[in-house]
């Protein structure tokens, strides 16, 4: 039973890692509103997001700033 769980876990991990894609950005994109807008447009295209609402953009900016602050 343990070997079956290990095989299942391993295959699941391989599938998940194959699906997950990173999204890169440059620090200069965080310096201006135009940079954020370009980054947001690329992010939307990459993740197939159609919502262009100002609220969604503001949440995106907030999240990017938090992620950047914690990962640099």
Tell me which long-range contacts 32-40 makes (C-beta under 8 A, separation of at least 24).
36/60, 36/61, 36/64, 39/64
Q: Does residue 15 sit within a domain? A: no
pTM score of the predicted model: 0.65
Q: Does residue 59 sit within a domain? A: yes
Whole-number pLDDT of residue 60: 92
Dump pLDDT digits (tens) for 47-71. Answer: 888 988 999 999 999 999 998 888 8
Is the C-alpha dihedral spanning 16, 63, 28, 36 positive or negative? positive
Dump pLDDT digits (tens) for 9-46. Answer: 776 666 555 545 567 788 889 999 999 999 999 999 98
How far, rounded to the nearest angstrom, does the alpha carbon of residue 20 sit from its chain's CA centroid?
9
The parent domain of residue 47 ranges over 24-72
Q: Does residue 57 sit within a domain? A: yes
């Amino acid at each position: 039973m343990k070997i079956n769980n290990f095989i299942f876990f391993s295959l699941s991990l391989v599938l998940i890692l194959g699906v997950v894609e990173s999204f890169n950005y440059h620090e200069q994109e965080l310096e201006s509103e135009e940079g954020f807008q370009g980054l947001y447009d690329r992010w939307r295209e990459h993740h197939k997001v159609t919502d262009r609402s100002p609220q969604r953009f503001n949440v995106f900016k907030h999240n990017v700033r938090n992620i950047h602050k914690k990962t640099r």
